[in-house]
């Protein structure tokens, strides 16, 4: 997965998939909430789930699945997440106009 190491892919891997429209603080809180729910056992880790869009199962050594906040980062939607592979997450965020 060398393409993950440079350019926008690496930036988004560090900062998440949402563009500058969402304040980083809000995005961070939403992601933290999801991470806490995973740790608490309320929802499985995203890599334990097949991609919602393409049904790809995560395998060790491949890019990790993410939880997509598919309804947005408003706090009432923080629990509304779907597990997606990086490829589909990218396609979703592109469709939402979150980058470029
Ligand atoms: Zn996918």
- One digit per residue, the tens of pLDDT, for the chain of length 100 reads 444 455 655 555 555 555 556 778 888 899 999 999 999 999 999 999 999 999 999 999 999 999 999 998 888 899 999 999 999 999 998 888 776 5
CA of 78 to the centre of ligand 1 (A): 21
CA of 87 to the centre of ligand 1 (A): 6
Number of domains in the chain: 1
Task: Name, in order, each residue with C-beta under 8 angstroms of 79's C-beta and a sequence gap of 6 or more.
Answer: 33, 37
CA of 41 to the centre of ligand 1 (A): 23
* Contact present, 75 and 22 (Cβ < 8 Å): no
In a domain, 7, yes or no: yes
Closest by Cα among 6, 4, 65 to 34: 65
In a domain, 66, yes or no: yes
CA of 91 to the centre of ligand 1 (A): 9
CA of 37 to the centre of ligand 1 (A): 22
Burial of 17 (0-12, 13-18, 19+ CB in 10 A): buried
DSSP class per residue in 67-84: EE-TT-SSGGGTT--EEE
In a domain, 100, yes or no: no
CA of 31 to the centre of ligand 1 (A): 19
Give residue 16's domain range.
Answer: 2-95
In a domain, 82, yes or no: yes
The span from the CA of 50 to the CA of 32, in Å, is: 22
């Amino acid at each position: 997965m060398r393409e993950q190491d440079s350019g926008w892919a690496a930036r988004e891997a560090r900062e998440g998939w949402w563009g500058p429209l969402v304040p980083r603080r809000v995005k961070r809180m939403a992601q933290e909430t999801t991470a806490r729910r995973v740790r608490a056992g309320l929802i499985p880790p995203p890599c334990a789930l097949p991609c919602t869009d393409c049904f790809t199962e995560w395998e060790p050594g491949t890019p990790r699945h993410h939880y997509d906040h598919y309804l947005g980062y408003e706090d009432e939607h923080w629990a509304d997440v779907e597990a997606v592979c990086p490829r589909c997450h990218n396609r979703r965020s592109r469709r939402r106009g979150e980058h470029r």
